[in-house]
Structure 1
Amino acid sequence: MIGLGLRLAVSGGREAIVRLAVLAAAVAVGTGMLLVTLAGVNAVHAQNLRYSWLNSGVTSAATGPEAADPALWQIREDFFRGDPIARVDVAISGPDGPVLPGRTALPAPGEYVVSPALDRLLRTHPADQLRDRFPGRQTGVLGHDALPSPDSLIAVVGGTREQVSRIPGATEVTRMVTVSPDDCRDCRAGIGADGIVLTLSVVAAALLFPLLIFIGTATRLSAARREQRFAAMRLIGATPRQITQFAAAESAAAAAAGALAGLAVFFAARVGLARVPFTGDPFFLDDLSLSLLDWLVVTLGVPLAAALAARIALRRVRISPLGVARRVTPRPPRAWRVLPLLLALAELGYLVGHRPLTRNGQVLGYLGGIFGVMIGLMIAGSWLTMAGSRLLARRAQRPATLIAGRRLADNPRAGFRAVSGLMLALFVTSTATGVITTIVAERSGSPGAAGHDLVSVLMLPEFEGTPPGEIRLPSGLPAHLIRVNPDGGPETQHLPGLITCADLATIPDAGACPPGAQVAEVWPGLSGNPAEDPAWPASTWTPAQLATLKVINVVVPTDGTPAAIEHARTVLNTTFPYGRLPATDADYRHDWTRQLPQFQRLADVAIISSLVIAGCSLAVSVTGGLTERRRPFAMLRLTGVRLSELRRVVVLESAVPLLAVSVVAVGTGFLAAHFFLRSQMEYELHPPGTSYYVIVVAGLLAAIGVIASTMPLLNRMTGPAAARNE
């Protein structure tokens, strides 16, 4: 039976070959995308695990053999030209101490080892901008096992126990942490793998749904002709089981070929994917690996899904061989189809003010809500199409409009099926754009003009300050002191820092004092003052009194060039080696500003891929619809209907459901984004930028273009020969 089914699959001439090729292509794209997504999830976890050793001094979750000689350990964050550097200061106490991954010993006093990416920066930039921050000599380069990413900037600096003990927070370490930061509550180094995996899962769902629709559409290509053929076989004695085997063999053969091609798609995309910094840093190529279970689930599951789609598509033939001939108008969809969509939106709305406390609860809540909305849109789509078709029929002024409206009203499910992929693409576009636009608007605004040009070093302990006698200002830099405000505090209206107005006047774009004031209240980094009110609040303290107060920050104005900023940072680094390392206000916001483009890239991938897949699905569906209706259209032409009227019928049958579901998809996408932002971040949805409207309009115009591109087929397929009975 399988052999006969394969022969029947290719015996239909060019039409059958095209159907199999389209189905194989759909499965290839689906398999490749799913494998890429699974590999991305595995890479995120592998990358995060290699951050574990950096947390050795901050968590009690260390595992592995314990060393006899403990080492002092403290990790701090440094920066170079916008990129973070993980600096680990260590001090050994004997030869049998803890060991870094891939090395035999920790650096001794006066030695340091760096990552390959940092080694390249040390070799290509002046010493006064970077190398002078690390005392002593470089004795090696960290290997693959100690690197989360090929671009990781890491320095392990050896010092004496007296030096490292002066760094606040330095602790004794006897073994390296090997526990993933995901499983460590007090770990400081690592990525938010759960959030990224959640994002990748949403992207996978955004791609998977249109792909499943594409596969189902390709499977149903020429379904009516195949149903007639299989029904004839039923009439001459074929059993329902044999018909099922014929259909499954045809679809499984195309799906198996597509699955093999999908492996090629995965390996072709794998190299490029490794360089995409989804987590903020690119992956190692071997991190993008797949387990045996991943391979089996995708390469076997996708062909099985295609075979199941074929079984469902031909279910009428299995029920009765006369079911194809005795076609009747199906029952119209009922209004209850909107309920699943409303329930999914209600679930997302409930999370506003009731956000789950655990990460698993958040993953289940938000991911389940998004999936529920997608499923709800698919269920409600046919009812929306029917509502639009009835409105079209009531307002019809031309024969083409009336024919299109009546045909859609007779079978709204078929009309919606053609545009369902594009509807999901628009939902994904609206949700992703709404979330990204709002996050960018809320978190990437500049808090002050001086924030990018001032390099500051915050004295420790934070907001308690250092006695002025212990502060040695760096030579050659215009450094200014910000002192602790005794009147400030979390329960007062006063800012935590004080600076003389004479110093403030010499710092460009850092704000000003009110007229007549001698001392101003400021934030320690001189950032955060509203641009529309450049005057800082005045203080009652005098400059003489100010000189006796503890210092909480040292700020150095620069001309804003990278060379000047890094030189000032290096000088402050060597002058104040035991506190928080120098940074600009932009550096403190750097982690978030680095993540925003990555999430935007993920959204762009989902949007563009969804639109492309949806466009392919629409083209296949419209072409298949023309093939199925060649005889009715040919009969209409024989009765005098002009070809231009038939073209209007085809365009209206696709455009009406397209516009009907597009409005709902866009509105639902923004509503889902609003619920997520209010629940997770307490943000109000910001209107999208021009690029969103360009994408939506371009997507709709492309869809209309796809429909128009099938019009030349109409003339060839509706000639007099197509009107004959078969």
Structure 2
Amino acid sequence: MSMRQFARDLGMGARFAVTGGREGWVRTALTAVGVGMGVALLLLTTALPGVISARHKVENARTDNTFAAHPRPKGDDTLLLAATDTWWRAKPIRGRLLEPEGPKAPLPPGIGRLPAKGEMLVSPELGRLLASGDARLLRERLPYRITGTIGAKGLLGPRELVYFAGAEGLKPGTPGARVERLRSFGEPQPEPEQMDPVLLMMMLVVFVALLMPVAVFIAAAVRFGGERRDRRLAALRLVGADSRTTRRIAAGEALAGSLIGLAIGTGLFLAGRQAAGSVTIMGESFYPAYLDPSPLLVLLVAFAVPACAVLVTLLAMRGVVVEPLGVVRTAVPARRRLWWRLLLPLAGLAALYPMIGQGRSHGDFNQYLVIAGVLLLLIGVTALLPWLVERAVARLGSGPLSWQLAVRRLQLSSGTAARTVNGVAVAVAGAIALQMLFAGVQSQYVRDTGRDPSRAELEIDLSDHTRVGPAAAAVARTRGVRASVGLATASLGATPQNADVSYDVVVGDCASLREVARLPSCHDGDVFANEGPESDTSYDPSYRDGVLRPGRQSYIDPGFADQPGLAVPITVPEHLRWAMPREDSLMPGAIGLLVTPAALPEAAEPALLGVVHVRTDPAVPDAQDQVRNTAARVDPVSDILAVTPTETSARYTSLRTGMLIGASCVLVLIGASLLVSQLEQLRERRRLLSALVAFGTRRRTLGLSVLWQSALPITLGLLLAAVVGVGLGAVLLRMSAAKVTVLWSDVLALTGVGAGVVLAVTLLTLPPLLRMTRPEGLRTE
């Protein structure tokens, strides 16, 4: 057969798809819509690298940290900058105070001029927020006059909250001041750390697990209306077409639907791209221009989707005999074989097995083996499910009429039923594996801070020129504050320069020090030694023989080669008393001296860094924002941190957020594609359903039969998905060198979500079912 003949047959099938009357148009439309939704999600996926690259480009361009140990010299081209990031309720706000030191001071990306003192440039979203009637407290915290807007070059997304305010009197270079002197923005950062091998492997698994259901749905969409199409092809046999020709014509019909689906998917993607700027997903927003797919990946999608449509149709037609007088599909159904279906997941396990136990200490994982192994395991779900449905429904029999109708339908077309839920099963299997993987390795990326939020919810780090006592008193007077504890810290060494070992000096009144450790009797002027939480006794020789030996002269803020210090001498008391650290200490890692103010040398005060620990009243609305307002008045460049019991790796959090966003998109695709598939099946059986009603079958019985037809395959599919998902998750955890733990509550929750989507879609198909079951549906013209 020549390529010309092949192309002619495909073209004839394409013409049938668009000129075959109402039935042909409906089938082509259903195929195009199903393919289009999948294509839109594929294009979105191909655009993700561009989104990440664009956001990193903006992030790098506006970098304002020099990572320098010493301040740069002042010049007419330098700018003083202080980071004043804050929060408004649950929304982060990026803030910067700017003070030019000359006419050539650099400009941050996104603005055309530097704001003068008392002026502020804001992002469009922050401008809208400040103009709203609900942001009174935020306007008090940012008492600047808005004189301009920050452009897109300085923002990660249209919903980001950012401001630049003019300032005077910023002091760079002193410890704790958090003021940088810049000559330009986007200066080189330290060498980025290498990507964690486990995180890289997780990223590959996320992409494969999220894209595989999309591919399954596209493959299922090109087979919509297969039964009516096969009956039409029987007519071609009457006029002399052979079986191979009919298969190629069928492939041409699928090709036409996929090409129209490509156009629809492109339109959906462009519409979604345009709407991207007005939505926020998991706290992230994106400019439409960021969603710019790679041309190479777009060409791959444009070629792969039509090719998939042709190949799937040709393979599907191998099991159908189209004769001149009809279609032989199930007269003598061939039993599906199991052996080759088991080879797929076994091959996947074989691909992943060499990497078991590798973890993060034996280099990167083989990316090709990871992708191939996960793909084969998930494809195994699509191969095993038809066999499982066929074997299960073959043994079902007696029951109510609705049950019998459903079972008989499944026995006649178990492949169609399995194809409908294949995508759900693959999605659930991938979700279970990902959930197990993320939960299993979470301990590797979550650090215990030792902090107790019930003791202090906020921590205010003051700059070097702010005294901690007055600051703590001002915070204590703030509405909604239950407790305010002010403490100051410095380092302590045995030598004035390049001390081998350094300890902490914590300064505060007796009441404040008791929030750190259990003290004996305390008066102003007392000094205590605070042992580490890992010490088993109250006597540690390393203290007395080293820095804290009674009578020894130690030094507060010792200097180092790259940074000078004050090196203020302090004599350790001869009768040094010991304090026992509290289990719920506000400074759980502090080891060294606890000093009351009268015992501190006056010369050491510039070395102190003040911290105010705040506990608020949850019954007072916006209590934390009240505290942030007070801190902004007391010290405009103070840094306020929310106290959390744990800290999570930023890369791990970003990957988890991306997974949740992708899973949400796939879930929407699942629901929409299932709805289209269910409507297509009802359309195929419209006359049969009308005939049943005409002969007296109740519509309630037909509705229940539709529910049973959905419930049986999805139950089997979810059981298979749970087995494969747990198995894949266990293998991935073993590869990550993590303990294999199955959270059955999560497994049940994910399978419940899949079942809920199918149930919701089935209920949505009941109204069309009632319309199709009218006796008038038997009328033909």
Displacement after TM superposition at 1:205 (Å): 0.7
**Corresponding position: 1:660 with 2:716:** yes
- Does 2:211 align with 1:205? yes
Structure 1 equivalent of residue 36 of structure 2: 28
Of 385, 390, 393, 2:389 maps to 385
1:148 is aligned, of 148, 151, 156, to 156
Asked if 1:277 corresponds to 2:280, the answer is yes
State the alpha-carbon separation in 1 of the partners of residues 583 and 325 from structure 2: 77
1:100 to 102, 108, 121: 108
TM-score using structure 1 length = 0.70
Could you tell me which residue of structure 1 aligns to residue 512 of structure 2?
A: 503
CA distance in 2, matches of 1:375, 1:717: 43
Alignment length, in residue pairs? 674
How many Å apart are 1:282 and its aligned residue?
Answer: 1.1
Paired amino acid for 2:419: R
Q: How do 1:337-486 residues align onto structure 2 when only pairs under 5 Å count?
A: 337-344=341-348, 353-355=357-359, 369-389=373-393, 392=396, 413=415, 416-428=418-430, 430-431=432-433, 448-450=452-454, 453-457=457-461, 473-474=470-471, 476-478=474-476, 479-481=485-487, 483=489
Partners of 1:685 and 1:517 in 2: how far apart? 52
CA distance in 2, matches of 1:8, 1:121: 56
Q: Secondary structure of the equivalent of 1:330?
A: coil
Question: Compared with structure 1, are the counterparts of its residues 452 and 33 closer, same or farther at alpha carbon in structure 2 (3 Å cutoff)?
Answer: farther
Cα contact 1:485–1:496 (8 A) shared by 2: yes
2:135 paired with 1:131: no
CA distance in 1, matches of 2:124, 2:82: 19
Helix, strand or coil at the partner of 2:224:
helix
The Cα of 1:361 is off from its aligned counterpart by 5.1
What is the distance in 2 between the residues matched to 1:263 and 1:274?
18
1:663 Cα deviation (Å)? 0.5
Matches of 1:421 and 1:707 in 2, distance apart?
Answer: 19
Change (3 A) 1:515 1:204: same
What residue number does 2:85 align with?
Answer: 78
CA distance in 2, matches of 1:703, 1:594: 32
Matches within 5 A, 1:601-612: 601-612=661-672
Contact 1:52/1:177 (8 A) holds in 2: yes
Q: Which residue of 2 aligns with 1:64?
A: none
Distance 1:471 1:433 in 2: 45
Structure 2 CA distance for aligned equivalents of residues 437 and 656 of structure 1: 31
| Residues 81 and 97 in structure 2, CA contact (< 8 A), matched pair in contact too | yes
Q: Deviations over 1:666-723 (max 9, x none)?
A: 233345456657766958554546965653442454476589886997997999x99x
One-letter amino acid of the structure 1 residue matched with residue 376 of structure 2: G
Structure 2 unaligned segments of length 5 or more: list them.
1-7, 69-73, 477-484, 494-500, 534-580, 602-606
Q: Which moved more, 1:475-484 or 1:23-32?
A: 475-484
1:164 shift after superposition? 2.1
Aligned equivalents of 1:473, 1:92: Cα separation in 2: 30
Q: Contact 2:124–2:149 at 8 Å: present in 1 too?
A: yes
Change (3 A) 1:415 1:472: closer
Task: Name whichever structure is richer in strand by fraction.
Answer: 2
Which among 611, 617, 622 is matched to residue 554 of structure 1?
Answer: 611
Counterpart AA for 1:209: A
Secondary structure at 1:582's aligned position in 2?
strand
Shift of 1:22: 1.6
Structure 1 alignment gaps of length 5 or more: 61-66, 188-192, 461-465
Give the AA of the match of 2:358. H
1:166 counterpart = 2:174: yes
- Give 1:314's aligned residue: 317
Deviation sequence 1:360-399 (CA, Å, 0-9, x none): 8587676555433321211222333344346548xx7999
Q: Structure 1, residues 44-69: CA drift from partner, whole Å, max 9, x if none?
A: 33223211122254479xxxxxx996
Deviates more, 1:205-214 or 1:10-19: 10-19
Q: Secondary structure at the match of 2:475?
A: coil
Aligned to 2:51: 43
| Structure 1 vs Structure 2 CA RMSD | 6.0
Taking a change above 3 Å as real, the CA distance of residues 662 and 105 of structure 1, as seen in their structure-2 partners, is same
Aligned-residue offset at 1:420: 1.6
Determine the C-alpha separation between the residues in 2 that align with 1:563 and 1:660.
50
What are the within-5 Å matches in structure 2 for residues 257-336 of structure 1?
Answer: 257-278=260-281, 280-290=283-293, 296-298=299-301, 301-315=304-318, 328-330=332-334, 332-336=336-340
State the one-letter code of the partner of 1:557: V
* Cα distance, 1:12–1:230 mapped onto 2, change above 3 Å: same
Instruction: Work out whether residues 219 and 251 of structure 1, in 8 Å CA contact, stay in contact via their aligned partners in 2.
Output: no
Q: Distance in 1 between matches of 2:220 and 2:52?
A: 29
Are residues 89 and 544 of structure 1, via their aligned partners in 2, closer, same or farther at CA, if it must alter by over 3 Å? closer
Partner amino acid, structure 2, of 1:71? T
Q: Secondary structure at the match of 1:476?
A: helix
When residues 127 and 151 of structure 1 are mapped into structure 2, their CA distance, relative to the original with a 3 A threshold, is closer
Give the letter aligned to residue 419 of structure 1: V
Q: Where does residue 624 of structure 2 map in the other structure?
A: 565
Q: Measured at CA, do residues 565 and 587 of structure 1 come closer, stay the same or move farther in structure 2, by a change above 3 Å?
A: farther
Matched residue SS, 1:455: strand
Task: Give distance in 1, aligned partners of 2:279 and 2:200.
Answer: 18
Cα distance 1:501–1:165, how it changes in 2: closer, same or farther (>3 A)? closer
Whole-Å Cα distance in 1 between the matches of residues 149 and 276 of structure 2?
26
Deviation at 1:513, TM superposition (A): 5.3
**How far apart in 2 are the matches of 1:648 and 1:121?**
51
Contact 1:219/1:310, CA 8 A, preserved across alignment: no
Which residue of the other structure, out of 215, 224, 227, is the alignment partner of 2:221? 215
2:543 is aligned to: none
1:190 aligned partner: none
- Deviations along 1:189-221, one digit per CA (max 9) or x if unpaired, are xxxx98998698457515513421431331634
Q: Among the aligned pairs, what percent are the same residue?
A: 21
Cα deviation for residue 486 of structure 1 reads 7.5
Partner of 2:542: none
Alignment of 1:177 with 2:186, yes or no, is yes
